[in-house]
Every structure is written in C-alpha cells, then in structure tokens.
Amino acid sequence: MTDIFKAPERLLMGPGPSNTSAAVLAATAQPTIGHLDPDFQRMMEEVKDLMRYAMQTENPVTFPISAPASLAMEAGLVNLLEPGDTAIIAQNGVFGGRMADIVERCGAKCVLVETDWGKPIDLDKVAETIKAHPEAKLLGFVHAETSTGAESDAAALCQMAQEAGILTLMDTVTGLGGVPVRVDDWGVDITYSGTQKCLSVPPGLAPFSVSQRAIEAVQARTTKVQSWFTDLNLVLGYWSGGGGARSYHHTAPVNALYGMHEGLRLLKEEGLEAAWERHARCHRRLAVGLQGLGLEFVVDAPHRLPQLNSVWVPEGVDDATVRGTLLNEHGIEVGAGLGPFAGQVWRIGLMGDTAREDNVDRLLSALSVVLGRGLKAAE
C-alpha cells in the first residue's frame, strides 16, 4: 500500500515557489463547487478586481490563466504574433530567451537584443534596435529577471515602444507584489505574472492583463491564433460574460482559485506599498548579513530585486553540497544558478510570505554554520 504523501516542512528561500500562508492553504481546502456556480462566479469577479489592484490597472481584460506562468508568456505571444511578424525581445537572462524561442515557434521573426546577465536591460541598445526595425510589432521583455535578480526599467522600455507605435509584452512573474508594477502608468499592453512568487499562492495560475490596444491587435489578426487553449477570443467568453452569459471554455481549477483569492485579498489588506517596503526591508537585512559572511552580490545595488538575491558561490566552495546541507540539515531551500550561472551563483528568494525578518535571520545563521565548515564537494 502506498502511504499518503506528507510534505516535509521547508523554508522556501529560492526563486519560487515561496512559502504559502496557512490562510491561503486553508482557503484551498474548502469544498469544491461547480465552476459555473453563481457563488464561484462572484468569487472570480473579486479575483479579477484584486488582480487589477495588484497590477495597478483598470484593464477590463484581467484574469488568471489556468496554468503556470510559462503558458501566460506563450498566450501573450501567440495572440499578438502572426507568422511573418517581427518581435523585438530584450534578453538579460533565461526567461527572455524563452520568449525568443516562443516567438520563433509562432513563425515570427525574432530580433534579439542581448544584455549581459546580471545587468538591467540596456535601454540604448533597445532604442537602436527599435529604430532599425520599423516593421516590428512587439517589444517583449522581462521586468524582473529571476535567473539573475536584476530589475529592468519597465517604464522606459514601454515609453520607447509606445513612441514607436509597437506593442509591449511584460513578464513580471517575479516582480508582482514585491516591487512596484504599474501597468496603466507604464502603458503595458500584455502583462503576466505567476502565483508562486511574491503572491505566495501555490504554483499553477498566472495573472494576465490585456490593454484595449492589444485586444484590437488580436481582433485584427488575419490568421487564427495557433493555440486553441490560449486564444483570447475564446477564453474571454468564459472570463468576461457576466450575468449568466458566461460560456464553458475549460473547467477552472476551482480550489486553486480559492487560494489565489485569499493570497490577493491578503495583499490588498496589507497594501501594496507596505508589501513593497517589507520586501525592501528584508532585502537590506539580508544584504548586510550576506556581506558579513563575505558573499558578493551579482547585481549592482541600484538594480537589485529585493525578492531575488543572487550571490556568487565563494571560491573553493561546492554549490550543490552547500544547498543540499541547507535543505537536509536546516530545512531551507535556496536556488541554484541557471544557464551560464549554474554552479556559480546561489539565488536567495525573499518572496511574499517568505519575506520576514525571522526567515532572513534563520537563513543567515544556517549559512554561517554551513560555510563555517567550508563545505567542498568531497565532504
């Protein structure tokens, strides 16, 4: 007989998922009801309002995609791009690279603007590229690069795109709830995020918001959206259409949405500014402690995301051994480096509910014990 799975106690201080609060977990454990039940639909309307608050937007088309954030990335690109279109993708880490891959799968031409990993997106390079490609339809970028911990200037990128009359697609999977995200002030056309980072809701849902300009671009397509599941023309019949007109598209993940409702409700109760300040405060405490342990940040101070702290693995210390010891002996998860940073960088997350002073202190004391042993691969 297989035993019931019992999840171990962990302090999640990696790049996501972050710790989920007891309130969010309790919300998800409520009885499942029908996804077309009027009570569920009322809750969905509240989820959409709460998402508009979190994203600082009035966009009527703001809803959660029933999937992890990668599908939101794909949804944005497949809806906006038709074969033969040109998209400019600004890349400064792993996730900009994923955008570029999807652009090519749409049959569109991808013009990649690369910035060194660990730096914010180079605005001058993007400006030059926009100028050189007047045919471009879209500028895609990652606001908060989880692979490095660098924050890019989303407002400036959106302004450049607007001046050139091109659409913007912004990934703020790690940004939302941890640092300011101002969709309407910045004029972003498609914005998406994930639940498992600074919203502290279990993974599997993706907040998604679409401007009027982007809706018009989708409606002006001459070809069908390549993906049935993410075709906005179809999905909106489900997520809009109030007053009983809501039509079946797919079966919404009912209990997961209870959790998202609670996570967003708690964020509103705390207030966005207070949540941003809590992340910043914990980051400052962590930075002082890490520097005290002789660890150096990958990203320069003005561009650091408080919720994702990348530090170089010290010379002669084995990355995997230290992370394994933190997990097995201290119950703390920190993240490994990705791509060219694999084995060289630790990614320490202070996201959502994890961003608490006592968690920072627990990690710092565990790290000092582990590093004090000077762990090398052979140990």
Q: Where on the chain is the footprint of ligand PLP (CB under 6 A)?
A: 15-16, 68-70, 73, 95, 142, 146, 171, 173-174, 194, 203
Torsion sign across C-alpha atoms 195, 219, 88, 82 = positive
Q: Which is closer to ligand PLP, CB of 10 or CB of 362?
A: 10
- Bridge partners for 83 per DSSP: none
**Structure tokens of 148?**
């490095």
Tell which phi-psi region holds residue 139, choosing left (phi > 0), alpha (psi between -120 and 50) or beta.
Answer: beta
CB of 199 to ligand PLP, least distance (A): 12
The answer to whether 191 touches 69, Cβ cutoff 8 Å, is no
Q: Which is closer to ligand PLP, CB of 335 or CB of 375?
A: 335
In angstroms, the CA 287 to CA 281 distance is 10
CB of 337 to ligand PLP, least distance (A): 14
Instruction: Report the alpha-carbon angle 44-46-51, nearest 5.
Output: 95
CB of 192 to ligand PLP, least distance (A): 8
Which 3 state secondary structure label does DSSP give 194? Answer: coil
Q: Which is closer to ligand PLP, CB of 203 or CB of 237?
A: 203
Q: Is the peptide bond before 17 cis (omega within 30 degrees of 0)?
A: yes
Q: Which is closer to ligand PLP, CB of 169 or CB of 311?
A: 169
Q: Which is closer to ligand PLP, CB of 52 or CB of 76?
A: 76
CB of 83 to ligand PLP, least distance (A): 24
Closest CA to 150 of 285, 302, 277: 302
Closest CA to 139 of 159, 118, 119, 117: 159
CB of 191 to ligand PLP, least distance (A): 12
Q: Which is closer to ligand PLP, CB of 171 or CB of 353?
A: 171
Q: Which is closer to ligand PLP, CB of 60 or CB of 203?
A: 203
CB of 173 to ligand PLP, least distance (A): 4
In angstroms, the CA 317 to CA 197 distance is 28
CB of 15 to ligand PLP, least distance (A): 6
DSSP label of 60: S
In angstroms, the CA 215 to CA 5 distance is 44
